[in-house]
Amino acid sequence: MIAMNFVTPVRSVNLRYFSILSRISGPFTPQYIGSLEAIAWNQENLAGSPLHLLAVLLSTLFCWLLGRKKENRLLAGYGASALVGFSLLAFIGHVTVVYSIRYQLAYLVMGAPLVGIMVGRIRKGGIRNLTMLGLLIYALPYLLISNMRPLIGMPPWPTRVGSIFTTEPAEILFALNSGNLDEYQRVTGSIEEKSCMKVGLWLYHEDLEYTFWWLLNAPQSGVELRFIRTEPALERYLEPDYSPCAIICTQCQGLAKVDGLPLNADFGQIQLYLGE
């Protein structure tokens, strides 16, 4: 997870970095190094935080080196506890997947006050102010040209969509899955045409369930969404008396009916079952 943070926007630098990692035996397998190529520095699901991570680690180290005073010992213990928690993420079992970089957010949040205290101890005001100004400038590219939520849109790269001030909300919502937008809109549009207020869901755990809620403006619009099928461990939470007038399904290929509702349309990835 630490290695994920140091993928840069420059391909030539990355290739050199990957070459160095490949010489280290142990966790850096060819498959893992290959997955690092998918990391985009400004993509919120994948982006690393090299400066933040180093700042927290160095602040913890300095507190240990200055550990004579009680305050320093407390700060060092706090930093060490946060670091141990970060290390325990290895036991989750997903740390070799590039998306797992999101798990380190708690560590960076916990380390923020520690870094603030150490910067505040810089005696020369000019250096302290310059440090803070540098941190603000460093943050600007991530804010202005975020891959999926940019203030300045530059599609198709480095941003997937246009500016959030001018782009349709639905396009922003599907920035990572733009190919699904038309299909999802057609499904929810058909449900709205029938004025159906009770919708059943039969989805895979990786399907974009929240997008159906947003497109149907549920529950504010009065539309109810309930799962009618789920994982065995969660079946006890289903509502057996729930009778939907529409069913959105991503696991029903080839089925003409589901719970008595006929197939209204097969959009490819999604099947819609709709009553009269």
Instruction: For residue 141, give the amino acid letter.
Output: P
Furthest CA-CA distance within the chain: 77
Give me the mean pLDDT over the 93-105 stretch: 83
Of residues 167, 181, 240, 250, the one with CA closest to residue 215: 181
- 210-235 pLDDT, tens digit per residue, is 999 999 999 999 999 999 999 999 99
Each domain of the chain, given as residue ranges in start order, spans 3-144, 178-274
Residue 17 pLDDT > 80, yes or no?
yes
Strands 261-266 and 224-227: unpaired
Asked if residue 156 has a cis previous peptide bond (ω within 30° of 0), the answer is yes
Q: How many other CB atoms sit within 10 Å of the CB of residue 175?
A: 21
pLDDT for res 59? 93
| Rounded Cα gap, residues 65 and 61, in angstroms | 6
Are residues 262 and 271 in contact, defined by beta-carbon separation less than 8 angstroms?
no
| Three-state DSSP string of 14-83 | HHHHHHHHHCCCCCCCHHHHHHHCCCCCCCCCCCCCHHHHHHHHHHHHHHHHCCCCHHHHHHHHHHHHHH
Q: In which band, very low, low, confident or very high, does the pLDDT at 140 lie, cut at 50, 70 and 90? A: very high
Residue 92 pLDDT > 80, yes or no?
no
Residue 128 pLDDT > 90, yes or no?
no
In 3-state terms the chain splits into helix, strand, coil percentages (rounded to 5) of 50, 10, 40
pLDDT for res 174? 94
pLDDT for res 99? 85
Residue 111 pLDDT > 80, yes or no?
yes
Q: In which band, very low, low, confident or very high, does the pLDDT at 119 lie, cut at 50, 70 and 90? A: confident
Determine which of 5-9, 96-100, 239-243 has the lowest per-residue pLDDT on average.
Answer: 96-100
- CA distance from start to end of the chain: 52
Region for 59 from its dihedrals, namely left if φ exceeds 0, alpha if ψ lies in -120 to 50, beta otherwise: alpha
pLDDT for res 1? 83
Cβ neighbours for 276, distance < 8 A, ≥ 6 positions apart: none
Number of H helices, E strands in the chain: 9, 6
H helix intervals, 121-236 = 125-144, 169-173, 181-193, 209-215
Phi, psi of 92 (to 5 degrees): -65, -35
Residue 276 pLDDT > 80, yes or no?
no
Asked if residue 113 has a cis previous peptide bond (ω within 30° of 0), the answer is no
- 30-79 pLDDT, tens digit per residue, is 888 999 988 888 998 899 999 999 999 999 999 888 877 888 889 999 99
Give me the mean pLDDT over the 143-159 stretch: 94
Beta strands, E only, 162-245: 198-202, 224-227
Q: In which band, very low, low, confident or very high, does the pLDDT at 82 lie, cut at 50, 70 and 90? A: very high
Give me the mean pLDDT over the 128-137 stretch: 89
Residue 109 pLDDT > 80, yes or no?
yes
Of residues 208, 200, 255, 188, the one with CA closest to residue 229: 200
Which two tokens mark 28? 């850096």
Query: Whole-number mean pLDDT of the chain?
Result: 91
